[in-house]
Amino acid sequence: MSLHKYVLHTAKINNNCPECYSKEGLEFTFEQENFENRFYTKAKKAVIETLYCHNCNQQVFPVTWTEDIERVYDYHRKLAKPKSSVMKLKPITYIILLFDAITVGLIIYYLSNR
Ligand SMILES: [Zn+2]
Write the pLDDT tens digit of every residue in 56-88: 999 999 999 999 999 999 999 999 999 888 889
Per residue in 91-113, pLDDT tens? 999 999 999 999 999 999 999 98
* Predicted pLDDT at 83: 86
Q: How far is CA 59 from CA 20, 21, 49, 50, 106, in A?
A: 12, 14, 11, 7, 60
pLDDT, position 30: 97
pLDDT beyond 80 at 114: no
Cα of 70 vs centre of ligand 1, distance in Å, is: 16
pTM (predicted TM-score): 0.76
Residues that place a CB less than 5 A from ion ligand 1: 17, 19-20, 25, 53, 55-56
Ligand 1 centre from 74 Cα, in Å? Answer: 20
Residue 70 CA to residue 6 CA, distance in Å, equals 23
Question: What is the whole-number distance in angstroms between the Cα of residue 75 and the centre of ligand 1?
Answer: 21
Domain spans in the chain, listed from the N-terminal domain onward: 2-89
